[in-house]
Amino acid sequence: MNLFDNKTLAQIVTEQPSTAAIFEKYDLDFCCKGKRTLNEACAEDQAKLKNIEQELEKMNPVGQQVPGNDELVKMDLGELTAYIINKHHRYVNEQMPMILAHLQKVAEKHGERHSELYEILRNFTDVKGEMEQHMLKEEKILFPRIREINDASKTVGVGWIPDKYYISAPIDVMEQEHDRAGAILYEIRKLTGNYNPPENACTTYRLSFNELRDFELDLHQHVHLENNILFPRSMELQKKMNAAMFN
């Protein structure tokens, strides 16, 4: 038996917001009909139940190991950029449209009684636009430059040394954008009362606040990896290469 089978759809989504995407894919109503267990919701379609269980297991594989800080510090810079893209950029790209849709639904339904929902929606729309452009610049400009320097450092007798601003200039921009996104999410946290919905809030209302909480947590981990590990190591590597060339 799957660990999720006897939990209600509302419980599953509330505890793990990322499961909402799977339920919506299979047209399972976790809001108005959220009191059903997964087994009950799929009682007439065992094939659907099996498919959902498999996707839930893939999303949360047993024994999945997340690299610790020490491992991340030791990663090759190319590997670290790939890790950030595959873990954090992927998460952000997958979750933002879902969170936005849920916030729009909640604001439309409950905004007259809870006007702060309109402000939360506006702020999240802003951060969504910021993050989309931010990650595109990282993937198309900064990360390729970091990998370029990383690869060059492994080549004996390399004669190409980029300008000292080659990575420091885009890093400055990325750090400023990190600060802006963090400030917007902090404002959202204040507007949500630290992600605490009203007592009578529906499942989608509660889900959207949990999604926002998880989104901010992921952003903190994401920014930590870049500001405190990837960026300093990249600039230190270029500094060493420059020093080696002129000694």
Mean pLDDT of 79-107: 96
With a cut of 80, say whether residue 143 has pLDDT above it. Answer: yes
Cβ proximity of 209 and 196 under 8 Å:
yes
Cβ proximity of 106 and 120 under 8 Å:
no
Most confident of the following: 10-14, 231-235, 241-245:
231-235
Cβ proximity of 123 and 192 under 8 Å:
no
Q: How far is CA 217 from the centre of its chain?
A: 8
Cβ proximity of 221 and 88 under 8 Å:
yes
Of the chain, the end-to-end C-alpha distance in Å amounts to 66
The DSSP symbol for 17 reads G
Calpha distance 193→225 (Å, rounded): 27
Closest CA to 191 of 93, 82, 87, 116: 116
With a cut of 80, say whether residue 204 has pLDDT above it. Answer: yes
Model pTM? 0.78
Tokens of 63: 């024994």
Which of the four pLDDT bands, split at 50, 70 and 90, describes residue 63?
A: very low
- What average pLDDT does the structure give for the chain? 86
Radius of gyration of the chain (CA): 22
Mean pLDDT of 52-59: 84
Instruction: Provide the phi-psi class of 2: left if phi over 0, else alpha when psi is between -120 and 50, else beta.
Output: beta
Which of the four pLDDT bands, split at 50, 70 and 90, describes residue 10?
A: confident
Would you report the helix, strand and coil content of the chain in percent, each value rounded to 5? 75, 0, 25
SS3 8: strand
More confident residue, 86 or 60: 86
